Amino acid sequence: MMKLSRLLNSNRNAVGKPTDVRDGSALHALTFQAGISTGGKSSIQDRVFAPYSVFKGKAALSVEPVLPTFSKFGSGNLRVDRRGSMMLTFLPAIGERKYDYEKRQKFALSATEVGSLISTGPKDSCEFFHDPSMLSSNAGQVRKNLSIKPHADGSGYFVSLSVVNNILKTTERFTVPVTTAEFTVLKTACSFALPHIMGWDRLTTPLPGTLASKLSKVDPQMPDLEWDK
């Protein structure tokens, strides 16, 4: 319980310095800085951070893949150590094209959840629930609910996230309306990223043996996990 409370109370920012507000144009740069600060010192290859972001009046939504990590076993073989995901980051608006990065909330879609998103039709909706303590006595203390619902006129979708924290006695809600075009970009990007977050790209383009042998873990990714802040 104490560990969960500390995790949910942590409010570290991307570059380790107080950062309350970022405007829309700077969000991409901030995401890049976050990756550099958490990506470790490996010089094997440069990280590439290219989130797809949607900025609206009340909130912004940023989406990017989080690649899996790999561990060595046997005679240099690799296996998935931590599964990848598609990370959705919501930021509340506090002015015209200004968003509070310190109050961001995240939702990590698994491969199966990505499949549900990709298969969402023009009149379909989908909903996902996450609980970090689902299988423990602390279940229900913190709940995240992501919903995707179509506009009544068929012009797009509402992407909404609610976070209920019974430990801190807080409830946060974000809603980002996205157009059909924006949602199509999101679905297409998720389709492209799906085999990569599963680690299947390593089956078709494995690392050179000499490079893999130098690593105990490959890609000790990534910018912030869902329950980090």
Find the radius of gyration of the CA atoms of the chain: 18
CA distances from 100 to 63, 95, 168 (A): 17, 9, 19
Contacts of 180 (CB under 8 A, 6+ apart): 122, 154, 155, 156, 157
| Dihedral-angle region of residue 40 (phi above 0 means left; psi in -120 to 50 means alpha; beta otherwise) | left
**58 and 93 in contact (C-beta within 8 Å)?**
yes
Q: What is the mean pLDDT of residues 172-181?
A: 98
Say yes or no to pLDDT of 188 above 70.
Answer: yes
User: What kind and span of H or E run contains 96?
Assistant: none
List, for residues 93-127, the tens digit of each pLDDT value: 999 889 999 999 999 999 999 999 999 999 999 99
Residue 28 phi, psi (nearest 5): -65, -40
The two tokens of residue 202 are: 């390593």
DSSP annotation of 84:
-
Q: What is the pTM of this model?
A: 0.73
pLDDT at residue number 17 = 39
Give the burial class of 6: count Cβ atoms within 10 A of its Cβ; 0-12 exposed, 13-18 middle, 19 or more buried: exposed
pLDDT at residue number 139 = 83
The three-state secondary structure class of 229 is coil
Of 145, 100, 105, the C-alpha closest to 229 is: 105
Specify the CATH superfamily of domain 2-206: Transcriptional Coactivator Pc4; Chain A (2.30.31.10)
Q: pLDDT-derived band of residue 208, with 50, 70 and 90 as boundaries?
A: low
Q: pLDDT-derived band of residue 46, with 50, 70 and 90 as boundaries?
A: low
Q: What does the mean pLDDT of the chain come to?
A: 78
Alpha-carbon distance 222 to 15, whole Å? 14
pLDDT at residue number 133 = 79
Angle at alpha carbon of residue 163, lines to 139 and 198, rounded to 5°:
75
**In the chain, where the domains are located:** 2-206
Give the burial class of 140: count Cβ atoms within 10 A of its Cβ; 0-12 exposed, 13-18 middle, 19 or more buried: exposed
The two tokens of residue 48 are: 């590439």
